[in-house]
Amino acid sequence: MLERILTKQFRDSLKATFKDIQQQQDIRDEKEFAKDEQRIKEQLLDTVDPFPQDVVFDEDFLVGAVDGSGNDGLALLDDVRVHLFSTACVILSTNTQSSEPFTPLDDTRIEECLGSSQPHLETFWYTGVKDDARRKMAEYIDYISSVSDPLEIVMPFFRDFTRGEIDSWNDLKDSKYAKYLSRLESIQNLISRVNLTNSTIHDQLRTISEYAAARKILDSSIRPKYLLLDGAMSVFIHHIRNYPSMPSGFLLREMCTRARKEGVILCAVSKTHTIPFAHRIAQMAADVFGETSKWFCQLPGSEDPGGGLHITQSRTYIPPMLAVPYLFSFSRDNRPSRIDFDRIWWLENIFVENDPIATRENEKALFRELEYMSRDARWYGYPVPLAVAHEQCKISYQDIRLAREICWDVRQEMGMDERRMEPQRTDFNL
């Protein structure tokens, strides 16, 4: 293959691809972005006013973070697949009064409060037998989320989505969703996506594992001011039924409801994202505020004053349903990151109707605290609680290799047929 990759022909092929992208997409995006430029510069973009280095808060607060990792091929026994999931919950205290910012809470205390030591490992398996994946996923979700009644996780979505018009099961019966009631009564039926590939199953269960871990923090006696999740608050909606196509969507909304109830600010941070023209917004911020500025920029949706951005109009996933995304940069050395907030919380706590100045003040106060939690020299510009959670939960190639060896060991210990675990062919690797 290498001889092909090194040919001029391959280079020409790449040139043609990039030319196509430029002509078909970039030019169109440029035009759309040009329409947004003025608005972004004057209304949506603003600086963060950082706390001084030696700030001492009147009241220090806790910040929680959850991250997860996993592998969809811990073991393959014919058509039985074993997945591995890890999650890590961390709680850090701002601790400005002791001049030791963001000291992690003692592991023992976290274990006491959450009921399990961190990081946490789980395995999951399913077979190629028809509908087995769906059934096993439901069992796993039931187990990991400790959901006693599916309605408990279903209703928060409808309440938020309909802004309270549907508040109960009876309301649901009288709504356009009445015909789907039976599909909403069991977790297995909440999995309405048709094509469940191994990768889809893995991603769904990994997200759910993280949400379940976050719910444990919300249910615990720890009362963090912020709870940070890794990723976006995207919910994929079934295009016919008009509700989430997977249980994770329901669980996210249920978690948002709990967070609001507990007074916890829930945020989802993505350092890798697909927000178009983020680099141009970053350049704009550098031009307006200076190279070293720390800034944020809301990415409004159609419901927001002034409506959505032209550049995101044809991208239906931005902003996500029931979420408010922002771009932010606290470090000149990195690409801007994205952060999503629960829209219901945002409307209640940040947005002030007809008062953009008050809204901006609220935003600045919010990002000021987020910036303060993003100054760790190891991950400068990225919230340290999430970075610590990531460090704790990540499963490296070495880890997974070792985990597989232990799988092998355990099967031998149990007297099982080890040949089932052997790779199909060891003479070449396709």
Contact footprint for other proteins (CB under 8 A):
50, 52-53, 92, 100-104, 331, 375-378, 380, 384, 388, 391
Report the distance separating Cα 145 and Cα 231, nearest Å.
Answer: 19
Smallest separation, CB 107 to other proteins (Å): 10
Smallest separation, CB 402 to other proteins (Å): 15
Smallest separation, CB 384 to other proteins (Å): 5
Smallest separation, CB 287 to other proteins (Å): 21
Nearer residue to other proteins within complex by CB, 104 or 308 = 104
Report the distance separating Cα 296 and Cα 281, nearest Å.
Answer: 10
For 391, phi then psi, to 5°, come to -60, -35
Q: Which residues contact 382 (CB under 8 A, 6 or more apart)?
A: 269, 271, 330, 331, 334, 337, 374
Nearer residue to other proteins within complex by CB, 378 or 425 = 378
Smallest separation, CB 392 to other proteins (Å): 9
Nearer residue to other proteins within complex by CB, 238 or 394 = 394
Round to the nearest angstrom and report the end-to-end CA distance of the chain.
Answer: 13
**Residue 393 parent element (H or E):** helix 384-393
Q: Quick count: other Cβ atoms within 10 Å of Cβ 25?
A: 11
Nearer residue to other proteins within complex by CB, 102 or 345 = 102
Nearer residue to other proteins within complex by CB, 93 or 298 = 93
Nearer residue to other proteins within complex by CB, 96 or 188 = 96
Q: Which residues contact 175 (CB under 8 A, 6 or more apart)?
A: 158, 162, 165, 166
Residue pair 245/237 in contact (Cβ under 8 Å)? The answer is yes
Cis peptide before 156 (omega within 30 of 0): no
Nearer residue to other proteins within complex by CB, 194 or 377 = 377
Residue pair 126/82 in contact (Cβ under 8 Å)? The answer is no
Smallest separation, CB 145 to other proteins (Å): 29
Smallest separation, CB 357 to other proteins (Å): 27
In the DSSP assignment, the letter for residue 42 is: I
